[in-house]
Amino acid sequence: MTVMRIRVLFCVLGFVSFNALAQEYNKFDVEGKRHGKWRKTYENSDQLRYEGTFEHGKEVGEFKFYKPNSDKFPTAIKTFAKDSDTIKIKYFTQNGQVISKGNMIGKDRIGLWEYYHNGSDKKIMMTEQYKLGRLNGEQLTYFENGQLTEKITYFDGKRNGKRFIYSNTGVIIKEFTYENDQLHGPTKYYDTNGDLLIEGNYKRDRKDGIWNYYEKGKLSEQKLFPVQKRGF
């Protein structure tokens, strides 16, 4: 077999293989619904936009989504169930590390969501709870060493109840009270040893009443809020 014939045969086989591969994707059923494996690229580009499987127009199994500069790593993977509206989703960095993961129904986040520290898909940075797309429940934030750094509770997307901020050794250094997403109620500040520095109250996001200031455990100053304006 001459070199020329080998080259021609190679080109023909390559063309046939390419067409066979292309025919595996982007098909429709008899009703015109997407069915089977699908792949889409960005316009005027070889970069994938998404790839996944449809079953008579409905997404099933794993779908991978890419950005124009994603290269080979997807920026999101959604997993669709046949018998449920719940979608499992993971978001990734450009080098394939998990940023966050959780569940959705339609465009609404639901249940537990987890977020990870940069450079690690094992060290949790934050967890939060959702109900119908709104924060609902505890939001917990962590240092890289796993120590809790902040705890706050949401109800229907708004902060309500206590908010605690911790040092990297687990000592409470700030304590706030919220109502309907506003500071409302007792507030306290502590040093890293847990000794009280400041205490007072907020009323609808404004300091209200007597605020106490401490030095070495003893009351050193008091201030009344709102500050009274002096007359002329």
CB 215 within 8 A of CB 207: no
How many residues are recorded in the chain?
A: 232
Taking CA atoms, 74 is separated from 90, 113, 172, in Å, by 10, 19, 40
Is 60 exceeded by the pLDDT of residue 148?
Answer: yes
Cα gap 136→111, rounded to integer Å = 9
> pLDDT tens-digit profile of 190-199?
999 999 999 9
Look at residue 27 in the predicted model and tell me its pLDDT. 97
Distance between start and end Cα atoms, the chain: 110
pLDDT top residue among 22 and 221:
221
Is 70 exceeded by the pLDDT of residue 17?
Answer: no
How would you class 154 by CB atoms within 10 Å of its CB: exposed for 0-12, middle for 13-18, buried for 19 or more?
A: buried
Look at residue 231 in the predicted model and tell me its pLDDT. 58
Most confident stretch, 1-10, 27-36, 68-77: 27-36
**Residue 150 in tokens:** 């902040």
CB 35 within 8 A of CB 54: yes
Is 60 exceeded by the pLDDT of residue 11?
Answer: no
> pLDDT tens-digit profile of 158-185?
999 999 999 999 999 999 999 999 999 9
- Report the number of secondary-structure helices (H) and strands (E) in the chain: 1, 19
Among 21-30, 36-45, 77-86, 181-190, which stretch is predicted with the lowest mean pLDDT? 21-30
Domain boundaries, the chain: 24-91
Look at residue 2 in the predicted model and tell me its pLDDT. 55
Q: Kind and range of the H or E element at 149?
A: strand 148-155
pLDDT top residue among 22 and 174:
174
